[in-house]
Amino acid sequence: MNKGVRSFVAIILVLSMLLVILTGCGNNDNVAELDMEKIKTNLENLKGEGFDIFTAESNVMSSGVANFDMLETLYDFDFKEFGINPDNISEYRFNMDRLNKDLWIVFLPVEGMEDTVKTETDAYIQTLISEETDATIKQKLENYSFEEIEGYLVWVVSEDNARILELTRNAKANILPMMMDITSDMLQDSIGLDPASVTEFAIKTPALITSSTTYMVVKPADGKKNEVKTALDNYMVALEEQWSTYLPEQYELVRNRLYTEYGDYLIYIVSENNDLIYDTIISSTK
């Protein structure tokens, strides 16, 4: 290698070292600060893709549409009284105001029985119409709405059918199950983590005995990273041991947990959607 080439290589090496120093080794300087409360809110509101009948029920019951906060829930043993065969229905929510005849019916028919379920339910509503003596209620019944949403058959009788159908149509299940928020005074007992060793954190653990879903986003205090990581690792090992003899699918989630460092933050995720949860966390910035 001649002298000119050696000099050129040396210059490139020096410039590369300077670039590493100026960019903080490509680590923390380019990482935005995370907002712990925003992380919790964004994850709590994270929705899946498919229609969820129970979310739909919650949405319509709290819609503010007249009478819908007082609908009575009816069950499959009531359906025969209405001329509807419950054996043709695999999933349902049937809510009614018997006085004002407001209705919110959602049926998921057994495969091949869609037409039968629709015919029987339409006939039931026609019976209500023919028997109604109050002109205002009769008109409301006559103006009932029907829509099929991802295989679910939906009937609405209300003061605002369009609003109820919109809330039903857009009902998606939460990605995360019910979870318990870990506060500062719970860190030591629940996680084995000294509160003085962290500057900020967002930690939620399972609230249901059938779920192992967990996420932990922790920013250690100066000089406490190893201590914090050890405590969190130990918690995860204990979680793995807990689920190893219980529900196999939840055990696999714990075994396949995500761990990564994002700037100064330590992130642990146990879920069915680790990548989605992670992307939501790092997009929740201050």
At residue 279, what are phi and psi to the nearest 5 degrees? Answer: -60, -35
- Indicate whether 10 pLDDT > 50: no
Which DSSP category does 33 fall into? Answer: P
At residue 116, what are phi and psi to the nearest 5 degrees? Answer: -65, -45
The mean pLDDT value for 101-130 works out to 98
End-to-end C-alpha distance for the chain, whole angstroms: 52
Could you tell me the pTM of the whole model?
A: 0.70
pLDDT of residue 91: 97
For a pLDDT cut of 70, what percent of the chain falls above it? Answer: 90
Contact 124, 103 (CB under 8 A): no
Contact 253, 270 (CB under 8 A): yes
pLDDT (tens digit per residue) in 201-213: 999 999 999 999 9
pLDDT (tens digit per residue) in 11-57: 554 454 444 344 444 445 578 899 999 999 999 999 998 999 999 99
E strands within 115-185?
Answer: 145-149, 152-157, 172-174, 179-181
Contact 278, 267 (CB under 8 A): yes
Distance of CA 188 to the CA centre of its chain: 28
- CA atoms of 147 and 211, how far apart (whole Å): 34
